[in-house]
Amino acid sequence: MTVRVGVLVSGRGTNLAALLAAEAAGELAPAEIVVVISNKPGVRALEIAADAGKPALVVDHRTAGGREAFEHALLAALAQHGVETVVLAGFMRVLTSTFVSAYPQRIVNTHPALLPAFPGTDGPAQAIAHGVKVAGVTVHFVDTGVDTGPIIAQRAVPVLPGDTAETLHHRIQVEEHRLLPAVVRALAQGRLVCEGRTVAIRGADADQLL
């Protein structure tokens, strides 16, 4: 049985592209991307979605009439496409309980830092500014906090001498583009079990992660 996935984006869409590539390669099943929604018009992610033949919509947070109305509009668009699971792929808006309670443990986000360190915006820049030696990516369930939900999977990458926020982000994204599709597949397969803050991954290959 297919699990209908809606992807929310705000910008470049490299994670969306990774999800679409995984889907095209048959590596996302039973997840199927049925709609892509951006809160910003004119972003590259919308072109990537359209090029892949996916419905690509804009729900603009600036013209929606407030946060509550914005989230209701998002929920309506997702419902129209029969979405069961939501993936935040570079979606840069914090969601309230209005949205989150509609998809209990069915919303995942990717963040370019080893949470709980460096939440919010510019994770790689925060890591550089702090002088950490190890950075990485976290994929987690979404709650109403800023990057605070239960952690599903993480991958570490080294911070190298001379790194800038850009070079570090690029190294993180190599891992991110593998990890996010793997998590989406595992979630669609029903292999993620969340108890409190702890997420277990069922399946023989759980050591490899997903």
Q: Is residue 123 involved in binding ligand GAR (CB under 6 A)? A: yes
| DSSP run (H or E) holding 85 | strand 85-88
Q: Is residue 111 involved in binding ligand GAR (CB under 6 A)? A: yes
- SS3 for 32? strand
Q: Is residue 191 involved in binding ligand GAR (CB under 6 A)? A: no
> Judged by CB under 6 A, which of 3, 6, 15, 71 binds ligand GAR?
15
Q: Which two tokens stand for residue 181?
A: 């599709």
Q: Is residue 147 involved in binding ligand GAR (CB under 6 A)? A: yes
Judge if the upstream peptide bond of residue 124 is cis by omega within 30 degrees of 0. Answer: no
Closest C-alpha among 92, 85, 46, 69 to residue 192:
85
Cβ distance to ligand GAR smaller for residue 2 or 96: 96
Q: Is residue 117 involved in binding ligand GAR (CB under 6 A)? A: no
In the DSSP assignment, the letter for residue 196 is T
Q: Among this protein's residues, is 111 annotated catalytic?
A: yes
Bridge partners (DSSP) listed for residue 9: 38
The residue nearest ligand GAR at its CB is 90
Interface residues for ligand GAR in 73-102 (CB under 6 A)? Answer: 89-90
The answer to whether 168 touches 99, Cβ cutoff 8 Å, is no
CA separation for the pair 78, 64 (Å, rounded) = 16
Bridge partners (DSSP) listed for residue 16: none
CA separation for the pair 2, 186 (Å, rounded) = 13
Per CB under 6 A, the segment of 24-32, 100-108, 110-118, 148-156 that binds ligand GAR is: 110-118
Cβ distance to ligand GAR smaller for residue 33 or 45: 45
CA separation for the pair 202, 130 (Å, rounded) = 35
Cβ distance to ligand GAR smaller for residue 150 or 193: 150
Judged by CB under 6 A, how many residues of this single chain contact ligand GAR?
15
Q: Which of 111, 140, 169, 177 is catalytic?
A: 111
> Judged by CB under 6 A, which of 6, 7, 13, 152 binds ligand GAR?
13
Which residues sit at the interface with ligand GAR, rule CB under 6 A?
11-15, 45, 89-90, 110-112, 123, 147, 173, 176
Point out the residues that are catalytic: 111
